[in-house]
Amino acid sequence: MPEDNPTENRPPTPYDPAAGNSAATNIAAPQHLPTPADATDLVADYRTHGFAARLGAGERLAVLVIDVCAAYLTDGSPLRAPVEDAVAATARLVARARETGVPVVFTRVSYRPGTADGGLFRRKVPALNAFEEGNPLAEFPADPAPRAGETVVSKHYASGFHGTALAATLTAQRVDTTLITGLTTSGCVRATATDALQHGFRPLVVADACGDRDPRLHEANLLDLDAKYADVIDLDTALTLLR
């Protein structure tokens, strides 16, 4: 019989930004994140009412790089955000994944000009026009960027799974755990993590490797993701899983 996964046998330790306790597999949470004044009460409330159990890592991982592109890094872009540190952390994780043979999958938003691609999402957020084909804001940065042979999933909506073959691609590679990185925490990262869970993949959201327009959005969504849909881990933890 196969051995039990040791990460599944450890007692649950929910993500608590106030206490510095984490995410997946009892590893310390990213301690550099500021803590909202009421975070301790909220975490305690989640724990009391049966939230924030641990999923842990499975047997085969993949790194998902969600929508890292020039639109978030270019001054004057309507989507500009202070995410340079998150992009650098993502690049480190991608490099480690390549060294260890772990699959890396990139997602990007892409719309054909003059079409109804994106539907109501694009109507709700006109800034998404930055992702029309041919717009340099839609391009990947120098690092991280996909290499030959790596999967790039083009999407119209927030989740990397919605209307795409991402689930089939991961299943074909026998992936059961996704290390989720990218932009933005409250948008496409959150949607992808939620859908990963709903498709049967263990979502591990790498806090340091995700970013948003405002740290308050980032922190609030990490806390809520960890309570309901994913394990939130820090970069050092993610790097140790890739070996």
Which is the catalytic residue, given 39, 166, 188, 233?
188
What whole-number distance in Å separates Cα of residue 52 and Cα of residue 110? Answer: 34
Identify residue 211 by its one-letter amino acid code: G
Helix (H) or strand (E) holding 119: helix 119-124
188 is catalytic: yes
C-beta separation of 15 from 222 below 8 A = yes
Relative to beta strand 61-66, strand 177-183 is parallel
Contacts of 88 (CB under 8 A, 6+ apart): none
- Cα atoms in the 13 Å half-sphere on the side-chain side of 204: 32
What whole-number distance in Å separates Cα of residue 86 and Cα of residue 209? Answer: 4
The residues annotated as belonging to the active site are 188
